[in-house]
Amino acid sequence: MHKPLIGLTPYHDTDNDDIKMRPGYLRALKEAGAIPVVLPLEASPEDLKQLADTMNGFLFTGGPDVHPFLFGEETQAHCGNVSAARDQFELQLLPLVMERKKPILGICRGIQVLNIGLGGTIWQDINSQVASEFPIAHSQPFDYSVPSHTVRVAPGSRLSQIAGNDSLKVNSMHHQAIREVGRDLVVTATAPDGLAEAVEMPSYPFFMAVQWHPEYLREKDAAAAKLFQAFVGACNRRK
């Protein structure tokens, strides 16, 4: 039996111009029955088309901030480092993947860049831009394998069907979040402070993105493991 090939967008260490990949993503996909493939950051338009044709699905991974110019804003004082090469790579890849209706999963930065690619915007820095009576620790102070806050899941959503619950305990390691939702996307989970924590595209075969990192939770949390299983299952159907 041939396993599905899933392309992962790479982490770009701009200080050393290195390409990296956290092993949790690779292990989560392997455990769910896929072969993970780290994509090349430098790819010609022809290469991108071939990758979009060849891979059975795509995981847009976590990483640095997206450049504010890409969603029509000046750089806010608390914005972090960016990778222009990665921004360009992912935003060129996305429409090619969507044209082919390949399954898409986004994690952390992934939910943000997918939202931006579909015309949405993000908060450049939650702490300085979003007022809250009880500031949630969106950048948690302890190990990523330990959840730090809950999210409320929209009933009837794909995430609800996968998780089998309307409330999830998630980890959190981000200082940016969705502000205006991109076209055709629906928010399907929110944090206690109202920030978007997951989106889906109901009109697309499989398009899901979450703000937390389920790859760190999958060993102890069934819902996190089921998310990767559902994604890989969708990729299996696209072989």
Residue 11's nearest CA partner among 110, 98, 80 is 110
For residue 79, indicate whether it is catalytic: no
Catalytic residue among 138, 197, 213, 235: 213
**Nearest CA among 62, 57, 52 for reference residue 25:** 62
With a CB cutoff of 8 Å and minimum separation 6, the contacts of 73 are 121, 124
Contact 208, 59 (CB under 8 A): no
The first and second tokens of residue 179, run together, are: 């502000």
Instruction: Give the active site residue among 79, 200, 215, 235.
Output: 215
Rg (CA), the chain: 17
Active-site residue (options: 12, 108, 149, 174): 108
Cα(2)–Cα(235) distance, integer angstroms: 12
Q: What are phi and psi for residue 85, nearest 5 degrees? A: -65, -40
Which tokens sit at 34?
């896929």
Query: Is 2 an annotated catalytic residue?
Result: no
Based on the residue annotation, tell me whether 219 is a catalytic residue of this protein. no
CA distance 228 to 197: 17
Residues 200 and 158: their CA atoms lie apart, in Å, by 8
Question: Known catalytic residues?
Answer: 108, 213, 215
